[in-house]
Chains A and B, each alone.
Chain A
Amino acid sequence: MYTIEQIKNAAWMNAEHTLIECEVKFAEADQFLPFGAPIEGDQYAHTKEVFDRASSGEFGEVAEYVAPPEPENNQPTVQGAQTL
């Protein structure tokens, strides 16, 4: 069980408002961690708690979802691998 101390930079990740991305400071961690919190489907209570508390506005307004632009080409390339 993780204990939530603080949540920041919460943002809706879809227009249906069923998924939140945010940063969470757990008591068990020494820093804020990026965190994904779906409204359901995760087995952990702390995930549901993050969603509920963030969506309620307890830690500030949740930024509205912004649809990403259509990618021109997101396919991996051999060239890309060779540049690393």
Chain B
Amino acid sequence: MTQAFNLAQLANKVNTSGQLDASTGLVNAVPVANGGLALSSIAAKSIPVANVANTYTTVTPGASQSVRINAGNTAWEAFTPGTVTSVSGTGGLTGTITSSGSLSIDTSTYAIGQIISGRANNTTTSHTIGSTIAGTSLYSGPPRSANVGGQWQADGSGFVFSPTLVNTGTWKAITTGPAGLTGTCTQIGLPALWVRIS
């Protein structure tokens, strides 16, 4: 009697083609073994994932988050992607990555041990090999071979441009001036090679 009644109830969910209306004819979640997720509800914007075999759960990322396997390789997790904002390299090379993704190399950062061509920033400063000078009193220029924009005199005697103050650290002269010149370098504009020592 009861079984007949129940079958009659189920039959009410079957259409004339013998198809069962899944939205009203089923009860409880469909298990994984039967092709379901075994979930009775799912939150908005959530993602069903299987951290163990045959069991679904959900991960619900927040704004701007993504989904990945965690560091222990044990489960899916929501995470906020990191952003690379800077780079560094040998010789003190550093750079900044902008929000648009472009890379800006920082040429104002000098590493200890870095060698530049440069000259003192006033007409009274002289130096010999081994002289030290503050970066605040040292102009840097392009390599002799670069001759950027014609910034070196044709005879090699010095800069003819408005170079940039180094600004930082202590620098030691390792040459006195252009090739062939010896002794004390007193002439404004005569570049030498300098190495940062502190």
Contact = CB atoms under 8 A, between A and B. Distances in A.
| A and B pair up | yes
Contacts of A63: none
B167 A76 contact: no
A34 B167 contact: no
Question: Which residue of A13, A36, A71 has the most chain B CB atoms within 10 A of its CB atom?
Answer: A36
Interface residues of A, number: 33
A78 B155 contact: yes
B9 interface: no
B108 to A, nearest CB: 5
Contact of B168 (A37, A81, A83): A37
A80 B198 contact: no
B198 A26 contact: yes
Interface string A67-81: 010010011111011
A84 B126 CA distance: 12
A57 interface: no
Contacts of A43: 92, 94, 109, 111
Contact of A81 (B106, B109, B133, B158): B158
Given A2-B198, A76-B153, A77-B157, A36 B134 contact: yes
Interface string A34-51: 111110011110110000
Contact of B185 (A24, A46, A75, A84): A84
A68 B122 contact: yes
B105 to A, nearest CB: 13
Contacts of A28: 198
Question: Which residue of A22, A42, A43 has the most chain B CB atoms within 10 A of its CB atom?
Answer: A43
B111 A74 contact: no
A38 B198 contact: no
Interface of B: 92, 94, 106, 108-112, 122-123, 132-138, 153, 155-160, 166-170, 177-178, 181-190, 197-198
- Going nearest first, the 7 A-B pairs with the smallest beta carbon separation are A76-B189, A76-B158, A36-B135, A36-B136, A81-B157, A80-B187, A34-B134
